[in-house]
Structure 1
Amino acid sequence: MKRRILPMLALVVLGLAQLPASAQDKPIRLVVPYAPGGPLDITARFLAERVKDTLGTVIIDNKPGAGGNIGTDAVAKAAPDGLTIGLAATATHAVNPWLFSKMPYNAATDFSPITQMVRVPNVLVMNANTAQKLNINSLQDLIAYAEANPGKLNYGSGGNGSAGHLAGELFKSRAGINALHVPFNGANPAQLALLSGQVDFNFDNLATAAVNIRAGKLKALAVTSIKRSPALPDVPAVAETLKGFAVDTWWGLVAPAGMPKDVVARLNKAFVTALNTPETHERFASLMAEPVPTTPEAFGALMKAELAKYESMVKASGARVD
């Protein structure tokens, strides 16, 4: 009996040794600090499928709440062993540290950057009927109208401290105009208010606004990226009128601080390869998102610069969450 068992065990051991490394690894948990179904979740799930041949199974773990802080904190406090990674976004790593009076993690020190994933411009949109009524056909027209009619314009956002609110306050400051901010409980109510004419303009996410722009319900005056978006090549950037103006939405992959460099490099290589495929570009384009694969160092530098940029923007807005 022993003579039969020993050769069988040898074959099993030999078979395991020939398996790819990814098949022997435990599943990787990718924490998405927002609810399922949004652009961040969709892109994370897409990439998880694209890297399974090199990294093995990647399980998406949605942990929404507190503006993204709950899920992000779970990543910060995980072991730096390569089995837990997460999404870092404009809100979680640039806005929230200045918006919330108490933070459970340190955005500057508690994470190891892996790669940026995506850049999505916001877009300044007006209700098309309002734009026609006020004879506003360009960003310059909007600024001129606001100068001639101080206090008559208002703009909506998804809430105090949201990307739309901060973009609006920066725009007002840089353009030297006045417009009343009207906060709503989320981006969808803010867009509905714009479509119904309750507010005059919004700074909306391009992925969200694109359908209504194409349908002629919203008029796109400018995108907030430093350059024009390939998705709307005929729409100028705000920076063409207000030099240096840039308020992009971005997100990428991070791990807990202290992760070994070779593990970071392995994760970076797998996800950058996936981000560079034509299939990824096509899928992300449907979300009006641009894949932005980078080195860990480049993504770390971006997060550091964005954290510094949003400090003054949040403070100028007066937004605060206690």
Structure 2
Amino acid sequence: MKSCFRIVVPAILAAFFFPIATIAHAAYPDKPVRVLVVFPPGGSNDVTARIVFRKVEENMKKRFTIENRGGAAGSMGAAIVAKSPADGYTVMVQSTTHIANAFMYKGKLPYDTLGDFIGLTPLARQVGVLVVHPSLPVKSIPQLIALAKKQPGELNYGTAGLGSFVHLNCAMFVEMSGTNMVHVPYRGGGPSSVALISGETELTIATIGSMFRHIKAKRVRPLGVTSKERSSKFPNLPAIGEFVPGFEFTAWVGAFVPAGTPQAIVTKLNLELKKALSDPKTAKLLTDVTLDPMYMTPDQFAVRLKSDYARYEGLMKKIGVIE
């Protein structure tokens, strides 16, 4: 009789509580969702979050409030999200820098880069563009490579700092093209761009968004893009990979929730983000600011995150950022 009681009672309790949990997830969200952008206002992460979640808010008729928490290349905001309740009411918007931070701040982060978060989906892709100062006597990637090989160690490239997207792109280009150039790091993309425009440095690889107006004003000369395919913004500009086989390096802006968030909520958020990114007006708003809409399932994004982690680790070791 006791064994029967032990079997029946838990079964009754499970049957009672399961529908409640299901209903709770179905009603999600029943209060405002905080979208924590881990960089200051105005940057690509912030712009992406505001464009995409504005559409999510419109579709769901629920509030998604954007909050900016910058600092330490996004790791301060990420620490807040990692410690937040895994209930779907805190969403982090972070870029590929999230992966780079695992190595730049190795042993100092209060969270596990891959283990403490669930990636919902990338939201947008950032493509880089290789640009040179107009005074440099090259008008194509083959000409640049030929000049660099003719003058080893004489050409220089500016970056936004050690381990940045700009640095990794440039370092990979130098390595894969078999050239030797001098790295000149600056404290951020702004100073790096100013250095190139003034002629202090000779070339860089920065995001199309950051270089777009300078290219249009002919302050810099574009030679190629970092994506596998050509950019819709510059269809006549070749991909670097057309001349340096295998070269491809782009960045993403993605959405994350704390690890342990219920699967039903993860799925719901992912599908709502997919719906928003599929909207033509939302897509145009992103492309207008040189961001390409990007979507993956959580499983696909998890694979990408692991792949990026391994790639960044290998590249950072190769260029001497980490041992």
With normalisation by structure 2, the TM-score equals 0.88
1:121-162 CA-to-partner distances (Å, cap 9, x unmatched) read 11110112x23xx2x110110000000111110000111111
3-state DSSP of counterpart to 1:266: helix
Residue among 105, 118, 124 paired with 1:118: 124
Partner of 1:15: none
Which ranges in structure 2 are unaligned for 5 or more consecutive residues?
1-25
2:104 to 90, 95, 99: 99
Q: Supply the distance in 1 between the matched residues of 2:141 and 2:43 (Cα, whole angstroms).
A: 29
User: Which residue is 2:19 aligned to?
Assistant: none
In 2, Cα distance between equivalents of 1:38 and 1:55: 26
Q: Which residue of 2 aligns with 1:76?
A: 82
Greater alpha carbon shift after TM alignment, 187-196 vs 218-227: 218-227
Contact preservation (8 Å) 1:157, 1:184 = yes
Instruction: Give aligned pairs, total.
Output: 296
> Equivalent residue of 1:51, what SS?
helix
What is the percent sequence identity of the aligned residues? 35
Aligned partners of 2:224, 2:298: CA distance in 1, in Å? 31
User: Is 1:261 aligned to residue 267 of structure 2?
Assistant: no
Matched, 1:217 2:223: no
Quote the Cα distance in structure 2 between the aligned partners of 1:291 and 1:170.
Answer: 25
Look up the match of 1:67: 73
Distance 1:318 1:30 in 2: 35
- Counterpart secondary structure, 1:120: strand
1:256-309 deviation per Cα after TM superposition (whole angstroms, max 9, x unaligned): 011111101111111110111111111111111100122111111111111110
SS at match of 2:161: coil
Q: Does residue 85 of the first structure (1) align with residue 91 of the second (2)?
A: yes
- Which of the residues 170, 173, 182 maps onto 1:171? 173
Please give the per-residue CA displacement for 1:79-116, whole angstroms capped at 9, x wherever unaligned.
11010110131111x21111213222211211112111
Match of 2:10 in 1: none
Residue of structure 2 in register with 1:316 after alignment: 318
Aligned residue runs from structure 1 range 1-322, under 5 A: 21=27, 25-53=30-58, 54=60, 56-92=62-98, 94-101=99-106, 102-128=108-134, 130-131=135-136, 134=137, 136-319=138-321
Unaligned runs of at least 5 residues, structure 1: 1-19
Q: How far 1:55 sits from its partner (Å)?
A: 5.8
Deviation, structure 1 residue 119: 0.5
Query: In 1, Cα distance between the equivalents of 2:237 and 2:280?
Result: 25
The answer to whether the Cα contact below 8 Å between 2:48 and 2:253 also exists between their aligned partners in 1 is no
Match of 1:3 in 2: none
Equivalent-residue separation in structure 1 for 2:307 and 2:315 (angstroms): 13
CA distance in 2, matches of 1:181, 1:286: 32
Q: Distance in 2 between matches of 1:40 and 1:234?
A: 28
The CA RMSD measured in Å over matched residues stands at: 1.6
Code of the aligned partner of 2:263: K
| Partner secondary structure for residue 284 of structure 2 | helix
One-letter identity of the residue aligned with 2:100: V
CA contact (8 A) 1:98 1:315 kept: no
Secondary structure of 2:218 counterpart: coil
More displaced 10-residue stretch of structure 1: 188-197 or 49-58: 49-58
- For 1:160, the aligned partner's letter is L
1:182 Cα offset (Å): 0.5
Question: Do 2:45 and 2:94's aligned partners in 1 also have CA atoms closer than 8 Å?
Answer: no
The whole-number CA distance in structure 1 between the counterparts of 2:54 and 2:100 is 30
Other structure's SS at 2:233 match: coil
